[in-house]
Amino acid sequence: MKLLMLVNPRSGMKNSKAHLLDAIDVFCKNGYTVTTYVTQSKDDAEKYLLKNRTKFDIVCVFGGDGTMNEVTNALMRKEQKPLLGYFPSGTMNDFGSNFDLGNDLKTIAEKIVLKQEKPFDVGLFNDRYFNYVAAFGAMCDVPFKTDRNAKEVLGNIAYILEGISHLPDIRKIPVKYTLNGKEYKRNVLFGLIYSGNRVAGMVLDDKNKGKVDDGKFNVLLVDYVPSIFESTDLFDYLTQKNQLIHRYQTDHITLEFEDDEVVWTLDGEEARTTDRKADITIKNKALRLLA
């Protein structure tokens, strides 16, 4: 078996890389031919795979959710799709939590060699793929605006500090959206279209509703309330029943905005779009993770 280990050296806390050789050793002991490639810049993982994906049976990703997003976009654009392995090393690692991967690199490698495949859904946002979340609105730009050096030193605290600096910029977002044959209009604070049950470190659904392979998105839209961050704990607000929160399940949603400055994030990375319309569909069990 030919295995590629894609390594993002800029991902996550610096000490997360200490046991990477232990994982590679597991593969070698089990007869795998291992090629290691260290990414050199943003989008390098995607570019490398587009050129070399036919050379490998398994592609393992050592990086954060953003690196995994690049790999997914490379594989979804080609007919041949190798199996995937994931060693989460980012700050949040929401995607990996849906598979209970943990952070022990040797244990993850030992699970990969067992070859137990777990298929998962992949979302398509206009012409860009994502693994677990497309988000817009209040503070959705925090993940990619937070300083990388701060994330390496402070971890999740860096996101909190960056988020506080964005509070004065919160505004309402008029949106028209269509799903399950119905059209709605609302003024929204922010919205999440996600697969699985965790976003930004928060568990938003139980595992019966937060599946990664059921061919459905969970949609969460929060009405605009100017004082929301002054009057309530955000986690409690999102996870309890509230008349200002609107939840749906669907395999397709379109959203149209009056404002062309709406910021989207896909898997924690900035979505490269200036369109006022977002067309989001799900590809059921499109890729397979060894976990």
- 74 — pLDDT class (breaks 50, 70, 90): very high
187 pLDDT higher than 90: yes
236-286 pLDDT, tens digit each: 555 556 778 899 999 999 999 987 778 889 998 888 666 789 999 999 999
Q: Which residue has the higher pLDDT, 139 or 242?
A: 242
pLDDT at 225: 76
Same-domain status, 107 and 7: yes
pLDDT at 93: 78
pLDDT at 152: 43
The structure tokens listed for 38 are: 């260290």
Same-domain status, 265 and 143: yes
- 120 — pLDDT class (breaks 50, 70, 90): very high
Domain count, the chain: 2
**Which of 11, 23, 9, 265 shows the shortest CA–CA distance to 128?**
265
CATH code, domain with 251: 2.60.200.40
**Which of 134, 166, 152 shows the shortest CA–CA distance to 69?**
134
pLDDT at 3: 98
- 139 — pLDDT class (breaks 50, 70, 90): low
Q: Which residue has the higher pLDDT, 19 or 72?
A: 72
Using the Cα atoms of residue 271, residue 234, residue 224 and residue 226 in order, give the sign of their dihedral: negative
Same-domain status, 133 and 47: no
Same-domain status, 81 and 52: yes
**Average pLDDT for residues 31-44, to the nearest whole number?**
96
- 12 — pLDDT class (breaks 50, 70, 90): low
Distances (CA, A) of 276 to 25, 125, 286: 48, 13, 27
Same-domain status, 26 and 106: yes
Domain of 83?
Answer: 2-115
Same-domain status, 136 and 109: no
Looking at the domain assignment, is residue 121 inside a domain? no
Give pTM, 2 decimals. 0.85
- 97 — pLDDT class (breaks 50, 70, 90): confident
Looking at the domain assignment, is residue 201 inside a domain? yes
215 pLDDT higher than 90: yes
pLDDT at 91: 66
Same-domain status, 74 and 140: no
pLDDT at 159: 35
What share of the chain has pLDDT > 90, as a percent? 54
Cβ atoms within 10 A of the Cβ of 228, count?
Answer: 17
- 181 — pLDDT class (breaks 50, 70, 90): very high
CA angle 20, 265, 156 (to 5 degrees): 50
Q: How does the average pLDDT of the chain come out, rounded?
A: 83
Same-domain status, 132 and 99: no
